[in-house]
Amino acid sequence: MIELTFEKDGFVREQEGPEHKLSHFHCVLSNGQHVWQDDGRYEGLAWNRLAKYLEGNSLNIDEFWLEFKSNKKRLFVKPPAISWARGLVASLGGSNFSCHSIGIWDGNHFTRAYYSSPDLEVREFYISKIDWDLPNLIVRKEWPNNELKTVDS
């Protein structure tokens, strides 16, 4: 059984609290289920567990959100292929920031944006042409019949 968090519960809210101040991803799946990032609750990263759950149940991500308390940003609707990672980025000027690295593959280009955590503002953005073999990539089952649809916050 793959363990995921299907409701925004005390564990997820604690990660947003004053001790951690972590934002998190939230996905709406093609069967209507909601999944929240819960790194540290179960073994393995939430993104990797989510990928296995989607594959094992023939599901897709229909909506992808970043959230911190009441600040919620819906970034994509039915992304054809998406990757996610949490990291630390050193920006020009010498300041570092905790971020979510979100990537979208449209078949020709890979678009990556770095959203600062916890304020969820885009700090860096780039588009590149790279190989299909990307780490942490979750692909829609009906690919490539789906077009990229971004959603403004």
3-state SS class at 68: strand
Is 149 inside any structural domain?
no
Is 18 inside any structural domain?
yes
DSSP β-bridge partners for residue 74: 65
3-state SS class at 135: coil
* Tally of structural domains, the chain: 1
Is 124 inside any structural domain?
yes
Is 36 inside any structural domain?
yes
pLDDT digit string, tens, across residues 17-69: 888 788 899 999 999 999 999 998 999 889 999 999 999 999 999 999 999 88
| Residue 130: pLDDT band with limits 50, 70, 90 | low
Q: 134: domain range?
A: 10-139
Which residues, 6 or more positions from 4, have their beta carbon under 8 angstroms from its beta carbon?
Answer: 35, 38, 42, 46, 49, 50, 53
One-letter amino acid at 128 equals: S
Is 100 inside any structural domain?
yes
Two tokens, residue 133: 């073999």
Cα→Cα distances 90→68, 95, 96, Å: 22, 6, 4
Is 130 inside any structural domain?
yes
